[in-house]
């Protein structure tokens, strides 16, 4: 269960309105790497965490913080939109290039749909959606995704930091940048701790099926693009980070598989077919070895 305080986690007061920046700031709210993403990603990871204790508690701490980041940004957007020429006509925009520049750079839906507020969309008006998050239950895989999300988030924040000179906006973004720095380090540390605790001992997620996969194909980088400098990288020779494999670089790889052919089609599905692959197979569902197969056999 959650509780809310009316105070923002940190300041979100622009010195002046700036509707063009309010448009861009939507990226940090509803973009693929915005605050809604980390909120929902951490919440679902936390709810799905299979172990009570420090990992689950950490995830829920940060998840709960991130809801407040969406809040800060939504309030900032509303303030940046104050006094925007949202209801100016085209004629006014054409007569005044300053209004023209502003109107061309605004998000029309912030006015028409949201009445001068933020929306759960990105800076191109595309809505946030549930496919932006991942919560797989495997903490190594998920924490790596978290560190990656915080990196993209900090990168976008840094770019936006350079697109404004409003001291109030920069004040808030300096806080956001710092939190993204912390959270990157934190998830990287948590990955180390998963390994130290023996929960996910190697760098390969999941730590499983390593004996069943074809080891020889876990060694070779295939040279398939004609720039050959990749053979000079540290990934071309030497031990892999998991300490279990060697890197090799396969300069002239050949395809190992058969021809990429599709089987003869079910005639009732009307694929174009000349018979060259032989007769289509009738529905053959496999060995019916269970009780039902036996009963059916008896009855027929």
Site string for a copy of itself, 99-118 (x = CB under 8 A): xxxxxxx-xxx-xxxxxxxx
| Cβ atoms of residues 173 and 160 within 8 Å | yes
**Can residue 278 be called a binding residue for a copy of itself (CB under 8 A)?**
no
Q: Which of residues 210-269 bind a copy of itself (CB under 8 A)?
A: 210, 212-235, 240-242, 245, 247, 255-266, 268-269
Distances (CA, A) of 127 to 106, 115, 167: 17, 17, 29
Q: How many Å from the N-terminal Cα to the C-terminal Cα in the chain? A: 58
Name which of residues 70 to 99 contact a copy of itself (CB under 8 A). 70-72, 74-75, 78-79, 82-91, 93-99
| Exposure b/e, 213-252, CB count within 10 A at least 16 = b | eeeeeeeebebeeeeeeeeeeeebeeeeeeeeeebebeee
**Is 38 a residue that touches a copy of itself (CB under 8 A)?**
no
CB of 56 to a copy of itself, least distance (A): 7
In the window 162-201, what residues touch a copy of itself (CB under 8 A)?
A: 162-165, 174-175, 177-179, 181-182, 184-186, 188-190, 192-194, 196-197, 199-200
Q: How many CB atoms lie within 10 A of CB 85?
A: 17
Q: How far apart are CA 123 and CA 105, in angstroms?
A: 11
Residue 35 interacting with a copy of itself (CB under 8 A):
no
Residue of 35, 151, 167, 201 interacting with a copy of itself (CB under 8 A): 151
Q: Based on CB atoms, which residue is closest to a copy of itself, 18 or 38?
A: 18
């Amino acid at each position: 269960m959650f509780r809310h305080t009316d105070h923002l986690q940190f300041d979100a007061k622009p010195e002046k309105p700036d509707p063009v920046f309010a448009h861009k700031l939507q990226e940090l709210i509803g973009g693929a790497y915005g605050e809604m993403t980390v909120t929902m990603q951490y919440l679902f990871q936390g709810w799905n965490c299979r172990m009570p204790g420090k990992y689950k508690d950490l995830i829920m701490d940060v998840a709960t913080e991130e809801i407040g980041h969406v809040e800060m940004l939504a309030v900032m957007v509303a303030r940046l939109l104050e006094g925007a020429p949202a209801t100016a006509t085209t004629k006014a925009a054409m007569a005044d290039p300053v209004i023209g520049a502003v109107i061309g750079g605004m998000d029309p839906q912030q006015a028409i749909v949201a009445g001068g507020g933020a929306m759960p969309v990105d800076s191109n008006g595309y809505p946030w959606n549930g496919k932006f998050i991942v919560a797989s239950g495997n903490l190594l895989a998920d924490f790596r995704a978290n560190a990656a999300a915080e990196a993209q988030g900090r990168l976008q924040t840094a770019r936006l930091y350079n697109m404004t000179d409003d001291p109030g906006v920069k004040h808030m973004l300096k806080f956001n940048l710092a939190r993204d720095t912390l959270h990157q380090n934190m998830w990287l540390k948590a990955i180390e701790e998963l390994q130290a605790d023996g929960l996910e001992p190697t760098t390969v997620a999941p730590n499983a099926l390593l004996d069943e996969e074809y080891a020889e194909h876990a060694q070779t980088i295939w040279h398939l693009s004609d720039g050959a400098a990749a053979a000079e990288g540290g990934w071309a020779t030497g031990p892999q980070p998991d300490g279990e494999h060697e890197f090799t670089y396969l300069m002239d790889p050949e395809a190992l598989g058969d021809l990429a052919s599709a089987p003869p089609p079910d005639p009732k599905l009307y694929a174009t077919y000349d018979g060259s692959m032989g007769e289509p197979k009738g529905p053959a569902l496999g060995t019916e070895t269970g009780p039902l197969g036996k009963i059916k056999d008896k009855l027929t």
